Structures are given as C-alpha cells and as structure tokens.
Amino acid sequence: MDGEEISYGTSPLKEDTDGDMLSDGEEVKVYETDPTKQDTDGDKLSDSEEIRTTHTDPLNPDTDGDGILDGDEKVSRFRSLGFFFFFGGLSLWSVGCLILFKKRKLGGILFLIGIVLMVIAFL
C-alpha cells in the first residue's frame, strides 16, 4: 500500500493526510477527491463538509451553476439586511422590519429572494 500512497502524495503514516475527516482511501476510491487537499474544488468548503453536510459536489465549486461558489452560498444563506424604527406624531409607535434573503444568480444578474418580517408596536 505504501507505493500507492506515494503515487498520490499521501502519508503512509496517516489515514487522513489532509485532515478533512475523509480517509485517503475514501477520497481516492469512493469520492475521487484529492487526498492532499481539504478542499479539492476550492469553493471554501472542505470535501468532508460537501459530502456529509451540504450535499454539494466536492469536485465542482458551483454545484447549482448559479455563479456563486458553494462556500459563499453556505455563508450567506440568510442575512439580515436591516432593522429600523420610526417614531411618529404625538403617540409613540415603532415599526421594525427584518429582511431575510437568499442570493440567486440568473443570466449574470444577481437576485435577492426573501421575506420581510414587520412588527408594529404602539407604546
């Protein structure tokens, strides 16, 4: 087995040369990922995270083809755009708004698809 490990550039002393929680054998024989790199496709997600958590392709940096790296999509799945208050008239009232969104790229144009949560409070 040492000859095979040397040909792949892996360590014969370690079961997981790159430390991504996939054994070198799994990476070479099952997933065809690079056992010397934690992130074979360079999308900011480890091979293990793509296989076991996000279920994205560890060999394709943009699994869904929307122009956004898989790792960037995971980080920005939902982000708050804003929260604001208004005070009006003689009565004190406030409106809070929170916008949650998901990024999608279509034909080179970035779209934000989301929901708006509003709260109106009279104090």
pLDDT in tens, 20-51: 999 999 999 999 999 999 999 999 999 999 99
pTM of the model: 0.59
The per-residue DSSP string of 28-53 comes to IIII---TT-SSTT-SSS-HHHIIII
Give long-range contacts, CB 8 A cutoff, 24+ apart: 89-97. Answer: 91/122, 92/122, 92/123, 93/120, 93/121, 93/122, 93/123, 94/120, 94/121, 94/123, 95/119, 95/120, 95/121, 96/121
pLDDT on residue 32: 95
Domain interval for residue 53: 2-75
- For residues 49 and 71, state if they share a domain: yes
- For residues 6 and 64, state if they share a domain: yes
Number of domains in the chain: 2
pLDDT, greater one: 119 or 79: 119
